[in-house]
Amino acid sequence: MALKLSKTNPQGSNTDTIQLKCRYCQARCVKAGKERNGKQRYVCTVCKKNK
């Protein structure tokens, strides 16, 4: 798998944290329950924006 997001990942020790960065402030996002459709929901720890 050659995805372009795996180009440079200095802290790629945990593959579960992939795509868990806030698109607004690049902060770390944490799990925040699930949506009605069952998808995992994430929220930024800094700006509190949902993803």
Query: Cβ 19 to Zn ion, closest distance in Å?
Result: 14
What's the rounded Cα separation, in Å, for the pair 51 and 19? 10
Q: Which of 25, 26, 27, 1 is nearest to 15 (CA)?
A: 1
- Between residue 1 and residue 40, which ones bind Zn ion under the rule CB under 5 A? 22, 24-25, 27
Size, binding site for Zn ion by CB under 5 A: 7
Largest Cα separation within the chain, whole Å, is 34
Query: Cβ 47 to Zn ion, closest distance in Å?
Result: 3
User: What residue ranges bind Zn ion (CB under 5 A)?
Assistant: 22, 24-25, 27, 44, 46-47
